[in-house]
A = this chain, B = another copy of it.
Amino acid sequence: MSQEIEFFPASTNVRGAPYPRVSADGRATLRLEAPQAREVCLHLAGGERTRGDGPFLMERNANGVWELMVTPKARGFHYYWFAVDRLVVNDPGSETFFGYGRQCSGIEVPEDEASAAYYQPQDVAHGEVRARWYYAQTTGTWRRALVYTPAGYDDGQERYPALYLQHGGGEDERGWTTQGRMQFIMDNAIAASRARPMLVVMDCGQVLTRRPGPGVPDLAAMEENAQLFGRVMIDDLIPMIDRVYRTVANREHRAMAGLSMGGMETLAVGLPNRDTFAYLGVFSGSPLSAIDRTTAYGGALSDGVAFNAAMRLLWLGTGTAEASSLRRTRAFSATLAEAGIRHAVFYSEGTDHEWLTWRRSLNEFITLLF
Query: Residues on A close to B: CB < 8 A?
Result: 14-17, 34-37, 84-90, 92-96, 98, 101-103, 121, 123, 126, 128-135, 142, 147, 154, 172, 177, 183, 204, 206, 209-211, 244-246
Q: Which residue of B lies closest to A177 (CB)?
A: B131
Asked if residues A15 and B95 are in contact (CB atoms below 8 Å), the reply is: no
Add 7 more A-B contacts to A35-B86, A103-B103, A130-B130 (CB < 8 A): A15-B172, A15-B204, A17-B211, A84-B84, A92-B103, A93-B102, A121-B142
- The answer on a CB contact under 8 Å between A36 and B87 is yes
> Judging by beta carbons under 8 Å apart, are B131 and A16 in contact?
no
B89 touches A89 (CB 8 A): yes
Q: How far is the CB of A228 from chain B (nearest CB, A)?
A: 13
Of B103, B128, B210, the contact of A14 (CB 8 Å cutoff): B103
Determine the distance from Cα of A251 to Cα of B341 in the docked complex, in whole angstroms: 62
22 A-B pairs whose Cβ atoms sit less than 8 Å apart in the complex: A14-B98, A14-B102, A15-B101, A16-B209, A16-B210, A16-B211, A35-B86, A36-B87, A37-B85, A37-B87, A84-B87, A84-B89, A88-B92, A89-B89, A121-B133, A121-B135, A126-B132, A128-B130, A128-B147, A130-B130, A130-B131, A131-B183
Write the nearest CB–CB distance from A181 to chain B, whole angstroms. Answer: 11
Q: Which residues from B are CB-within-8-Å of A102? A: 14, 17, 92-93
The answer to whether A131 and B134 touch (CB under 8 A), given A36-B87, A89-B87, A103-B103, is no
Distance of A315 from chain B, by nearest CB (Å): 27
How far, in Å, is A169 (CB) from chain B's closest CB? 12
Residues on the B chain within 8 Å of A90, using CB: 89-90, 103
Give Cα A89–Cα B103 distance, bound, in whole angstroms: 12
Indicate if the CB atoms of A131 and B128 lie closer than 8 Å: yes
Among A35, A37, A133, the most chain B Cβ lie within 10 Å of the Cβ of: A133
What residue of chain B has the Cβ atom nearest to residue A129's Cβ? Answer: B131
Query: In this complex, which of A36, A86, A246 has the most chain B Cβ atoms within 10 angstroms of its Cβ?
Result: A36
B residues in contact with A121, CB < 8 Å: 133, 135, 142
In the complex, chain B residues whose CB is within 8 Å of the CB of A172 = 15
Contact partner of A101 among B14, B130, B204, CB < 8 A? B14
Contact of A36 among B86, B103, B135 (CB under 8 A): B86
**Among all A-B residue pairs, the 6 with the closest Cβ atoms:** A16-B209, A36-B85, A16-B211, A129-B131, A96-B103, A96-B96
A244 to B89, CA, bound (A): 41
Give the docked Cα–Cα distance between A116 and B118 (Å): 44
Question: A135 touches which one: B96, B103, B123 (CB < 8 A)?
Answer: B123
Q: Smallest distance from the beta carbon of A307 to chain B beta carbons, Å?
A: 35
Query: Most chain-B Cβ atoms within 10 A of its Cβ — which of A85, A98, A147?
Result: A85
- On whether A130 and B133 interact (CB within 8 A), knowing A15-B206, A206-B15, the answer reads no
Chain B min CB distance to A295 (Å): 32
User: What residues on B are CB-neighbors of A98 within 8 Å?
Assistant: 14
**Which residue of chain B lies nearest to A120 when distances are taken between CB atoms in the complex?**
B142
Complex CA distance for A135 and B154, rounded to whole angstroms: 20
Contacts of A37 in B (CB 8 A): 85, 87
B residues less than 8 Å from A126 (CB atoms): 132-134
Contact A87:B34 (CB < 8 A) given known A16-B101, A16-B209, A142-B121:
yes
Chain B contacts for A15, CB-based, 8 A: 101, 172, 204, 206, 209
A142 to B120, CA, bound (A): 10
